[in-house]
Amino acid sequence: MSAFATIRRPATLAVAIAATVGLTACGGGRERPQADLAAAQVTTIGVNSYLWRAALDAVSFAPLLQADSNGGVIVTDWYANPSNPAERVKITVTILDSNLRADALRVAASRQVSQGGGWVDAPVQAATVQKLEDIILTKARELRRDAVG
């Protein structure tokens, strides 16, 4: 048994040394590289923060029905302009990406007009939706420019 004990002790020591060397090779003493993230991506929300703030600002004239910053969805309730109470609009803004890009934004609008004591769906001009998208993108770019420089 003493021959077995003499072989066992150096073998255990060799395994312990090999494990230590193996763990050291995994980068135990080195620092991890830091990621260089764009300012808009260092947020606690799930979408581009500049687009989010710009969209909230752009639809602030209407009461909010839903605002989900993780999913990037803003839905307003029906809004009737006091100067034209026979017409009302509802807006949905969806932010699709964490990057500040034009294709990361989608705006949809619904319009209704008062007819015979009730509300009837009416078409929304494509230029109206495009104009709202342009307002949001312009504001988001301004917010980013102000934050960067």
> Is 112 domain-assigned?
yes
Q: Kindly state the DSSP code that residue 116 receives in the 8-state scheme.
A: T
pLDDT tens, residue by residue, 86-143 = 999 999 999 999 999 999 999 999 999 999 999 999 999 999 999 999 999 999 999 9
> Is 108 domain-assigned?
yes
> Is 36 domain-assigned?
no
Query: 60: Cβ–Cβ under 8 A, 6 or more apart, which residues?
Result: none
> Is 98 domain-assigned?
yes
Q: What is the CATH number of the domain that holds 84?
A: 3.10.110
> Is 84 domain-assigned?
yes
DSSP output for 24-90? HHTTSSSPPPPP---GGGSSSSSS-HHHHHHHHHHTTTS-EEEEETTTTEEEE--B--TT-TTEEEE
> Is 92 domain-assigned?
yes
Structural domain count of the chain: 1
- 0.85 surpassed by pTM: no
Owning domain of residue 73: 47-146
